[in-house]
Structure 1
Amino acid sequence: MARIITNFENVDRFIVGTVGQPGERAFYLQARNGTNLVTIACEKAQAAALVERLELLLKEIRKKNSSGHPINSAISYLRDDKPLEQPIAEDFRAGVMAITWLNAESLVMIETQAISEQMVFPDITEEENGDDDPKLIPDDDLDGPDLLRVKLSLAQVKEFISRTNSVIDAGRQPCTFCGIPIDPNGHLCPRANGYRR
């Protein structure tokens, strides 16, 4: 099947959302530009890592541009609390993700590449050479995995961070003793010697 590369220069909506109850939620990354909608299945840890890196990027941008440049000014945004758009049809499962600051445009580019066989079954020679980190496959590789590329303003990045943090926090609360998420009917806490909490 031919590779699909989707570029959203001006994305209308870029969110993380879930389907299901806490403890059984499926996470999705969704981007919409006009009538074009891309839905990517992802792990909670991927969403959390993306937010963590975006927060670090914003901090670094502010530090480098502390001279009153527009980047350092207050960024206003309206948080999008609407649910995922229907139908939720998974286009691919997220594999490699990359974040790039486009200084000339004052935009953040996020690239999400589909998980590939190379990621599931890594090349042994790469592991031996110490280069086992997955990489984005160049656009000209027609047999590569699908790719979504979006460009976001700083306000959109702040909105994405705020929403994603609230989606992640809406899951099961961790046990105060062991840190393991507590199911609705409790859990057997290893630090409480197996007693139900």
Structure 2
Amino acid sequence: EEASGDYVEDAMRIHPPVDPLYRAGEIGLGYDKDRDLVVVFTKELLTEEAEPESAAQVRFWATRTQMRRLARWGQDVTSRGRPICPQCGQPMEPEGHFCPKKNGHMR
């Protein structure tokens, strides 16, 4: 059976404030054939001084349907892009935009 890619947009959104546990340096993908589950794993990006053994790791197990929804959501969000500043042509962030054509004033 084909896994559905349909999703509920509000359920997919990350709602601020977000306080990440760590910054991912490695991301991997695997598949457990016996359980028919996909695993996504991340490993912390460490500073040069940190010991490699101290890196935090997280594994997320998901069904095919969940992964297809995540893939569809990722495609949809990235295809929307960010709004473009009509003055300078650069992408605008939700918190404001430092526009060189407006002498750096926030808009």
Relative to the length of structure 1, the TM-score reads 0.38
Question: Does residue 105 in structure 1 map to residue 35 in structure 2?
Answer: yes
Contact in 2 for aligned 1:97/1:113 (Cα 8 Å): yes
Give matches, 1:69-84, under 5 Å: 73-82=1-10, 83-84=13-14
Q: Secondary structure at the match of 2:74?
A: helix
- Structure 2's unaligned 5+ residue stretches are 91-107
Structure with more of its chain in strand, by fraction: 1
Quick one: structure 1 residues 79 and 106, their matched pair in 2 at CA, closer, same or farther if it must change by over 3 Å? same
Structure 1's consecutive aligned runs of 4 or more residues displaced over 2 angstroms after TM superposition are none
Give matches, 1:1-197, under 5 Å: 73-82=1-10, 83-118=13-48, 141=53, 144-172=54-82, 183-185=84-86, 186-187=88-89
Report the number of matched residues.
Answer: 85
Quick one: structure 1 residues 170 and 151, their matched pair in 2 at CA, closer, same or farther if it must change by over 3 Å? same
- Structure 1's unaligned 5+ residue stretches are 1-72, 122-136, 174-182, 189-197
Relative to the length of structure 2, the TM-score reads 0.66
Identity %: 15
The amino acid of 2:77's aligned partner reads V
Please give the per-residue CA displacement for 1:12-48, whole angstroms capped at 9, x wherever unaligned: xxxxxxxxxxxxxxxxxxxxxxxxxxxxxxxxxxxxx
Q: CA deviation at 1:184?
A: 2.1
In structure 1, C-alpha distance between the alignment counterparts of 2:34 and 2:27, rounded to whole Å: 22
Structure scoring higher RCO (CA < 8 A, sep ≥ 6) equals 1
RMSD: 2.4
Quick one: structure 1 residues 157 and 97, their matched pair in 2 at CA, closer, same or farther if it must change by over 3 Å? same
The amino acid of 1:163's aligned partner reads W
